[in-house]
Structure 1
Amino acid sequence: MKMSENNDYIQLPPLKKDTPSDVIQNMYDT
């Protein structure tokens, strides 16, 4: 099950767990 989680983690941005709104806004702003 760890592999599955890793796959999801890689598919999503490097800031999946620690992704505050500020970071998301910054990513979208770019």
Structure 2
Amino acid sequence: MKKVNVILKARTLRMLLDQVCKTKDDDISR
């Protein structure tokens, strides 16, 4: 159960990071 929890946390963290990177890219390209 703990392993699944860690994987889910890592996945959500990566998704958040991807969103931040996308917004940063948008800001730079503007």
Q: Please indicate the TM-score interval, normalised by the length of the shorter structure.
A: 0.3 to 0.5
Using CA pairs under 8 Å that are at least 6 residues apart, name the structure with larger relative contact order, 1 or 2: 1
TM-score w.r.t. the length of structure 2 is 0.41
Larger Rg: 2
